[in-house]
């Protein structure tokens, strides 16, 4: 009988060890881990697409390109012009805006409300250029397109 009790005690000890070290201070299941709350970042924004060529206003016959800023828009927002034209910009809105061509270093003009900007030649080669208001192109979509063609 004593052998049976010892065998049973040994068997129970082995079962206890195999089932998770119940005599140990270590828990049999791993502790739950807490993860920091997921952070969400705002989606990346990019400037709105420029207008299509069909929507461009042809100003090639005029001596000067005319552009108006009204609140948070350029009017017109797409202009076809020649390499020799100068530009006239008027800000009829309430906020300060810029006329900036990111791909043409040096073309970055700040225009205050009610203050015209006149007579500057852009000096651009033929091509298509995006112009923006640096202050409002992402938040308000203030963007346009300038198509420069060779002078006739």
**Domain-embedded: residue 70:** yes
Which CATH number characterizes residue 63's domain? 2.60.40.420
**DSSP-assigned states of every residue in 74-121:** EESSEEEEETT-EEEEEE-SSS-EEEE-TTSTT-EEEE-TT-EEEEEE
**Domain-embedded: residue 42:** no
Q: According to the model, what pLDDT value does residue 133 have?
A: 96
Q: According to the model, what pLDDT value does residue 51 have?
A: 53
Residues of the chain with pLDDT under 70: 1-54
Q: Is the peptide bond before 34 cis (omega within 30 degrees of 0)?
A: no
Instruction: Report which of 60, 66, 57, 59 is spatially closest to residue 119, judged by C-alpha positions.
Output: 66
């Amino acid at each position: 009988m004593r052998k049976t009790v010892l065998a049973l005690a040994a068997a129970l000890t082995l079962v206890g060890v195999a089932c998770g070290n119940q005599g140990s201070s270590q828990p049999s299941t791993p502790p739950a881990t807490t993860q920091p709350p997921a952070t969400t970042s705002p989606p990346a924004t990019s400037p709105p697409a420029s207008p299509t060529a069909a929507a461009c206003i042809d100003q090639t016959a005029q001596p000067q390109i005319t552009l108006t800023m009204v609140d948070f828009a350029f009017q017109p927002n797409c202009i076809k012009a020649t390499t020799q034209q100068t530009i006239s910009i008027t800000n009829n809105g309430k906020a300060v805006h810029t006329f900036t061509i990111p791909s043409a270093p040096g073309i970055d003009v700040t225009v205050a409300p009610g203050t015209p900007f006149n007579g500057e030649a852009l000096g651009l080669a033929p091509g298509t250029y995006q112009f923006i208001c640096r202050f409002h192109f992402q938040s308000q979509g203030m963007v346009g397109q300038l198509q420069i063609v060779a002078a006739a």
